[in-house]
């Protein structure tokens, strides 16, 4: 029997999964009771704390909160669009956060304080899961703090309009959809970082990198996106650079 496209099509249909069934499978894995379960939380924390990234020496420190939240029955991450009035990265998407203040006990407190100042989410509502290791970003080291902030309606948040234009949520399902993930290449330094297009605004750059790290730790059974990058590494003892070609993953991350 000669195989043709027409002859094998019934077999392909028999063994393929309909699109609506694929969505249902992903939905069941991303349900709040699964992602927020004790076993899932524990595994996520261990992975998040294990991420090792380059950091600078003798520079200022900052922190960002990576707020996992519940919105319209789905889990997602809460982002904010920075005001055009701010001097740092105006009009760009970011997580709540900022520079460490002298009165902050540690960088976790920095993340919680900045979240309150920018989005008026009280620290009592924030369930901090863990803090990651410092990440070098130019002339500052940034600590990502992963937390669950419960149910959020971004349109009703009392945002600080001097710093924030608006807040929005991107669901985990959209963040994990490979059709909605692109990448952005940078020249200074040379690197490639993921770009997420499933929300109201594009999530990219440093915030996209942290989103990638968090997704790898939080829902590794669904989030399968991998990318390669070239990054010049500057040693602490000299100005010489070394280019490393690597597979970005949760245990060997460079951004």
176 within a domain of the structure (yes/no): no
Residue 246 is predicted with a pLDDT of 34
Look up residue 250 and give its two tokens: 């949760």
Residues linked to residue 252 through DSSP beta bridges, in sequence order = 249
- Residue 233 pLDDT > 70, yes or no? no
Poorest-pLDDT segment among 68-72, 122-126, 137-141: 137-141
Mean pLDDT value across the chain: 82
Q: Rounded to two decimals, what is the model's pTM?
A: 0.80
Residue 26 is predicted with a pLDDT of 53
Per-residue CA distances from 209 to 27, 157, 229 (Å): 24, 25, 12
Q: Quick count: other Cβ atoms within 10 Å of Cβ 49?
A: 15
21 within a domain of the structure (yes/no): no
Which CATH number do you get for residue 108? Answer: 3.90.79.10
Give the Cα separation of 195 and 12 in Å (integer): 33
112 within a domain of the structure (yes/no): yes
Residues linked to residue 192 through DSSP beta bridges, in sequence order = 185
108 within a domain of the structure (yes/no): yes
37 within a domain of the structure (yes/no): yes
Give the Cα separation of 82 and 163 in Å (integer): 6
Provide the residue count of the chain: 255
Domain that holds residue 68: 32-171
Residue 183 is predicted with a pLDDT of 87
4 within a domain of the structure (yes/no): no
Mean pLDDT within 170-199: 90
105 within a domain of the structure (yes/no): yes
Q: How many domains does the chain fold into?
A: 1
- Residue 237 pLDDT > 80, yes or no? no
């Amino acid at each position: 029997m000669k195989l043709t496209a027409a002859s094998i099509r019934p077999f392909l249909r028999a063994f393929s999964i309909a699109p609506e069934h694929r969505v249902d499978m992903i939905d069941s894995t991303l349900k709040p009771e699964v992602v927020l379960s004790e076993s899932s939380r524990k595994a996520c924390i261990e992975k998040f704390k294990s991420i090792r990234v380059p950091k600078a020496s003798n520079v200022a420190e900052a922190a960002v909160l990576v707020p996992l939240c519940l919105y319209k029955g789905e889990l997602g991450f809460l982002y904010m669009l920075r005001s055009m009035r701010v001097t740092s990265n105006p009009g760009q998407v970011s997580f709540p956060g900022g520079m460490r203040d002298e009165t902050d006990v540690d960088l976790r407190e920095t993340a919680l304080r900045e979240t309150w100042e920018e989005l008026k989410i009280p620290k009592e509502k924030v369930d901090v899961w863990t803090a990651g290791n410092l990440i070098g970003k130019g002339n500052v080291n940034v600590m990502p703090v992963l937390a669950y902030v419960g149910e959020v309606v971004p349109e009703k948040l009392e945002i600080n309009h001097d710093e924030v234009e608006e807040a929005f949520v991107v669901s985990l399902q959209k963040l994990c959809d490979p059709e909605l993930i692109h990448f952005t290449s940078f020249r200074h330094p040379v690197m490639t970082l993921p770009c997420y297009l499933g929300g109201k605004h594009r999530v990219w750059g440093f915030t996209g990198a942290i989103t990638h790290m968090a997704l790898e730790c939080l829902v590794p059974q669904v989030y399968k996106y991998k990318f390669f990058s070239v990054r010049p590494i500057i040693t602490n003892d000299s100005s010489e650079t070394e280019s490393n070609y690597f597979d970005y993953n949760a245990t060997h991350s460079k951004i």
